[in-house]
Amino acid sequence: MILVTGSTGHFGNATINFLLEKGVSTNEILALVRIEQSGDDFKKRGIGVVVGDYDNYASLVNAFKGVEKLLFISGSDVAKRLSQHENVVNAAKEAGVKHIVYTSFQRKNETETSPLWMVAQSHIKTEKWLKESGISYTILKNNLYMDFLPGFIGEKVLESGVIYVPAENGKVGAVLRSEMAEGAASVLATTGHEGKEYDFTNAEAVTYQEIAETISKASGKTINYISPSAEDYGNTLAKYGVPAEVIGIFSSFAVAQAKGELDGESANLEKLLGRKPLSIKDFLTNLYTTAL
């Protein structure tokens, strides 16, 4: 039995669809949901539904009973994630789960000086708990979702002609979220992944300068890249009414990119997908050609 947490979210839902595509039968899949009725669509498709909340340890032990493989999708509430993830790992141990596949994140700096420490610390701790749990594990080190790149680039980029992000010349190896989910499904549906850590990063990482050049070529408009200081970036976004929390997240990722934290290139996903993941340049070319 394979249980997918975060099944109502983008990553989990896509993984379940890829598991079915790969021939895993509906009665071998369980979807973990927080509220019973969130599982109605899964039930209609013959997929089992169990109720559990990362904040409720007993609910997790109950939900994980009889589960062989658990896709543990990191929680979305960063402030509560440490205790939630501890609950998941301990509950999996108590319930006798055999193998956990965990969606972690890519990084180089594992100290508090990391611009992404807010996000990083719970992932790093969770990986440690997994390794100490005695349960067999696979860690997926996810780069930035490529789906988020247009948000950094700015929705009015073709009008403004400017990409304004404090990422300097740092590279990002972003991957389409659905392709990461497909990779996760491949890990769950096949054997030989015990104790492995896979970098879910693209085959080619790029700078925002290269991104600007790609969009220029695709759209026929000249797009310039400006890398301001993080402070100027924050002030400019605030002037446009962007909430402080959103500015914080965007700044952290951009500054992390400037420092090389997201600069990774790997063939791990290519092996799992049986093809190269969609490149950042092709993704942007499709997006900004059709935007014309």
For ligand NAP, the binding residues (CB under 6 A) are 5-12, 34, 38, 53-55, 73-77, 84, 103, 105, 142, 144-145, 148, 177
CB of 292 to ligand NAP, least distance (A): 27
Minimum distance between the CB of residue 71 and ligand NAP, rounded to whole angstroms? 11
The residue (of 202 and 219) whose beta carbon lies closer to ligand NAP is 202
Toward ligand NAP, which CB reaches closer, 7 or 227?
A: 7
Are 176 and 278 in contact by the 8 Å Cβ rule? The answer is yes
Which residue number, 84 or 219, has a Cβ lying nearer to ligand NAP? Answer: 84
Give the nearer residue to ligand NAP in terms of CB position, either 6 or 234. Answer: 6
Shortest distance (Å) from residue 93 CB to ligand NAP: 18
Given the complex with ligand NAP, which of 148 and 168 has the nearer CB atom? 148
Residue 185: CB minimum distance to ligand NAP, A: 14
**In the complex, which residue's CB is closest to ligand NAP?**
9
Q: Give whichever of 31 and 213 is closer to ligand NAP, judged by the CB atom.
A: 31
Burial class of residue 256, CB neighbours in 10 A (0-12, 13-18, 19+): buried
Least Å from the CB of residue 259 to ligand NAP: 17
First to last CA, the chain: 47
Question: Least separation, in Å, of the C-beta of 39 and ligand NAP?
Answer: 10
